[in-house]
Amino acid sequence: MTAWDFLAWLATVLLGGVLPARTALRFLAAPKGRVRWIAPYLVLGAALGMPTWMGDGNPLYYFPFLIAAFLIGYGGSLAARLVVGVIFFEWIIAWSMIVDTRAVLPGSADYWGAVVWKLAAWAAVWLLVRRALRDGRQIALSGRLWALLGLLALSPLLSELAFSLWNVRAYTEEIVDGVLDAAFYTLLPFVFVSSVALLLAVVLLSRHQALEQEHQLADMRELYYQGIRREQEQVRRLRHDMRNHLTALSGLLEQGEAGRAAEYVRSLQAASGPSGAGRFTENDTVNIVLSAKAREIGEAGLEADIRVFLPEKLPVADPDLCALFGNALDNAVEAAKDAVDRHITVRARAEKGLLMLRVVNAYAGKREEKPDGLFGTTKADQRAHGFGLRGMREIAARYGGTLEAAARDGKFELVACLPLAESRTE
């Protein structure tokens, strides 16, 4: 090997892993460490320059290194990194064995010709995954779904490794040519196609799970909105009946029935539902939500500083306003109940074409930020809770806005910004 050949091989190893490593980033989060990302680039690049024949031990030796690279070089759950690492091993090694063993593709008998064929397959998979994930969504699956995909990936993995485990090179040439070649070129294309299909299955399952969560969030918002509407109707009914109540009280007092009048007032207080904490803003929907939450804040022994300046009409649907303000204050109350600082700050304003909402509260313990920039629920039932921030971000995104959350120095801050396009349905 000449010096130029060595430099070309080294460049292949160093740069060849870019395509599959970038493809893996579509399924996994980037690592938190600054240099850990180098591991998958180098290990995946080594597969490009590593001859992989039917029956040799290279795949067996390479497998633990690739899995270790995925565990070290990417973020996300352990199950996700393991399953995606196994799937990548399957399609990369299957294609390498097809190209290297018998040189059945044009030009693949030459070392650099084989490298070109491998790069072509890697580029095709990268383009396919990029097209499948053109909406830019991050892959998010439950642990059960990752476990299911892991079980589905075992069959092609064992089929592929069987050629190395059986040491087929020790058999006679007649058996290799007559029997094993047929099995080889039947199984390995199947392994390659099925492993790529598993990658697409990850995308489809993630989209299906996201749709289910969106439907669940929509149902929760509708239930929340209906509850607020019932309270609003109750308040309007009480206002409508107030004249009759005042007439009755006036008659009792004129008759000298002070005791009965006091009892009548107490019965009104017990039946009045939401007592209201004053008029927070001109927008009736937001005012009802704030009144209800102000009562909950007081019952929890917390203090609230609420300053909201919103017009009577907003180009935001009432259920979305309920979910946005209601979830923000629900999360604040839940976190502040266990904190030393029991103060909640709420600021909201609509001006210059923007609706801005900012909620700040203290919290106890630690808050772990997830790859999507949000924070998980602290409640025991993880599956039944934790949709508040996701639902609020989904609302903000639907209106072309943003939602940011940050936890630092014992303070949690949530900021939502929604453009107020006049063309939107109120």
The predicted-structure confidence for 53-84, as pLDDT tens digits, reads as follows 777 778 888 999 999 999 999 988 899 999 99
- Can you list the alpha helix ranges (DSSP code H) found in 166-276? 173-175, 181-254, 258-271
pTM: 0.59
Give pLDDT, residue 398. Answer: 85
The string of pLDDT tens digits covering residues 73-125 is: 998 889 999 999 999 999 999 888 888 876 667 777 777 888 888 889 999 99
- Can you list the alpha helix ranges (DSSP code H) found in 300-401? 318-336, 388-398
Number of alpha carbons in the 13 Å side-chain half-sphere of residue 145? 18
Q: What is the pLDDT along the chain (426 residues), one digit of tens a residue?
A: 566 666 777 777 777 788 899 899 889 888 876 677 788 888 988 888 787 877 777 888 899 999 999 999 998 889 999 999 999 999 999 888 888 876 667 777 777 888 888 889 999 999 999 888 887 777 878 888 899 999 999 988 988 887 777 665 555 455 555 556 666 777 888 889 999 999 999 988 888 877 776 676 666 666 666 666 666 666 666 666 666 767 777 877 888 778 887 887 777 666 554 444 457 888 888 888 888 888 889 888 899 999 999 998 899 888 788 888 988 998 899 889 888 888 999 999 998 889 999 999 998 876 555 544 455 544 443 333 344 677 788 888 888 899 988 888 888 999 999 998 754 433
Burial pattern 296-331, b for ≥16 Cβ within 10 A else e, equals ebeeeebebebebebeeebbbbbbbbbbbbbbbbeb
Give pLDDT, residue 66. Answer: 94
CATH 3.40.30.10 fits 277-426, yes or no: no
The helix-helix angle for 3-16 and 38-49 (nearest 10°) equals: 130
**Cβ-based neighbour number of residue 401 at 10 Å:** 19
Across the strands, what pairs with 360? 345, 413
Phi, psi of 40 (to 5 degrees): -65, -30
From the list 204, 198, 87, 86, the residue with the least C-alpha distance to 137 is 204
From the list 305, 283, 309, the residue with the least C-alpha distance to 228 is 283
Alpha carbon distance, N-terminus to C-terminus of the chain: 73
Distance of CA 202 to the CA centre of its chain: 14
> Which residue ranges make up each domain of the chain?
3-216, 277-426
Give pLDDT, residue 310. Answer: 92
